[in-house]
Amino acid sequence: MATQLERARAGIITTEMEKVAAEEDLSPEQIRQGMVDGSIVIISGNGRAETATGIGRGLRTKVNASIGTSSDLIDIEMELEKAAVAADTGADTLMELSTAGDLDDVRRRVLAAVSVPVGNVPLYQASAEAAASLGSNLKMTEDLLFELVERQSADGIGFMAIHCGINRLTLSVLKSQGGRSGGLVSRGGAFMSAWMQATDSDNPLYEQFDRLIEILHQYDVVLSLGNGMRAGAVSDATDKAQIQELIINCELADRARDAGVQAMLEGPGHIPIDEIKANVILEKKMSGGKPFYMLGPITTDVAPGYDHITAAIGSAWAAAYGTDFICYVTPAEHLGLPYPDDVRQGVMSSRIAAHVGDMIKLGRRQADYEMGKARRDLDWEKQFALALDPEQARSVRDARPGSGSEGCSMCGDQCALKVGEAAC
Give the DSSP letter string of 199-230.
Answer: HT---HHHHTHHHHHHHHHHHTPEEEE--TT-
The CA distance from 308 to 301, in Å, is 12
pTM of the model: 0.96
The CA distance from 107 to 118, in Å, is 9
The CA distance from 50 to 144, in Å, is 30
The CA distance from 188 to 182, in Å, is 16
Q: Three-class SS string for 289-322?
A: CCCEEEECCECCCCCCCCHHHHHHHHHHHHHHHC
Give the amino acid at 317.
W
The CA distance from 201 to 81, in Å, is 40
Q: Name every residue whose Cβ is closer than 8 Å to that of residue 371 and which is 6 or more positions away in sequence.
A: 383, 386, 387
- pLDDT in tens for each of the 424 residues of the chain? 899 999 999 999 999 999 999 999 999 999 999 999 999 999 999 999 999 999 999 999 999 999 999 999 999 999 999 999 999 999 999 999 999 999 999 999 999 999 999 999 999 999 999 999 999 999 999 999 999 999 999 999 999 999 999 999 999 999 999 999 999 999 999 999 999 999 999 999 999 999 999 999 999 999 999 999 999 999 999 999 999 999 999 999 999 999 999 999 999 999 999 999 999 999 999 999 999 999 989 999 999 999 999 999 999 999 999 999 999 999 999 999 999 999 999 999 999 999 999 999 999 999 999 999 999 999 999 999 999 999 999 999 999 887 777 878 888 888 888 777 766 6
How many other C-beta atoms can be found within 10 angstroms of the C-beta atom of residue 272? 17
* Inter-residue contact 136 to 130 (CB < 8 Å): yes
Q: DSSP state, 101?
A: S
The CA distance from 300 to 278, in Å, is 17
Domains of the chain: 4-361 (3.20.20.540), 366-423 (no CATH)
Q: Name every residue whose Cβ is closer than 8 Å to that of residue 226 and which is 6 or more positions away in sequence.
A: 121, 161, 162, 163, 164, 165, 186, 188, 189, 266
Q: Name every residue whose Cβ is closer than 8 Å to that of residue 247 and which is 6 or more positions away in sequence.
A: 286
